[in-house]
Amino acid sequence: MKALLLRVGIDKGTDGVLAPIFSDGSFEFIPISENGHSIEKRTYQNTIGRKGRPFSDYLPVNIWNKVMHYDPEFETCTYGDPTIKRKYLLKLQKGDILVFYAGLTPYNNGIHPEALYIIGYFMIDKVIDFNHLNNKEKAECFHLYNNNAHMKRGQDTEDLVIVIGDKRKSKLLNRAILISEKKTDKAGKHYHAVSAKISDLLGISGSIQRSIPPRSIAAESNLDNLKNILGI
């Protein structure tokens, strides 16, 4: 068994903003905007979050009407990627854990820092490499996993990998879990690194500002600590 940590969600690099975290530790998972052709109809303005307010309430007006790339999605528990991350996803097997973290910023509170937080996870059921599917198998995937953002992009599935989580054992958390602390590089620029506490528990360290490369956890003691953190 192993676990993989992957950054997701709207961020300053994609849309110039982070999703909110509230005083009680709850948060909104807000996806990045879609940068390709998609049949997705959900925008930041017409999508209501868990707090009962549209996502646009937390975002700058210039992106309100952008279509969202809802990936991962926690309704049917799928995540897809055709980029360099595919090689890491293909190493996952049934029973492994894909942990999602995101950048969050405090909303009307001074309790939680702007930082990186674990926001959910999939307990892996299966991993599908579209490069190894025939046309019939691809059509079946479009039917079975139509809620995935990449299925909504159409027929271009080159290099696409889709990870399916066990719906009974996968979860979007109710409370975000802080995993980073700010550090400063030699040029005086701030970046997000694994916090000392999380480093001790999970055996990982260094910058997690970006999702490449994803951080892997394989040691049994570290996996046990991860399960305790996630409440599994």
pTM of the model: 0.96
| Residue 7, pLDDT score | 96
Rounded CA separation 23/6 (Å):
25
For tokens 């046309």, name the residue.
Answer: 135
Residue ranges covered by each domain of the chain: 9-230
Rounded CA separation 206/116 (Å):
13
Tell me the residue ranges of DSSP E strands in the chain: 3-7, 19-21, 32-33, 68-69, 78-81, 97-106, 115-129, 161-165, 171-178, 180-184, 190-194, 215-217
Rounded CA separation 194/203 (Å):
10
At residue 57 the predicted structure's pLDDT band, cuts being 50, 70 and 90, is very high
Per residue in 151-205, pLDDT (tens digit) is 999 878 999 999 999 999 999 999 999 999 998 888 888 889 999 999 999 999 9
Per residue in 106-137, pLDDT (tens digit) is 998 889 999 999 999 999 999 999 999 999 99
Gyration radius of the chain's alpha carbons: 17
| Residue 110, pLDDT score | 83
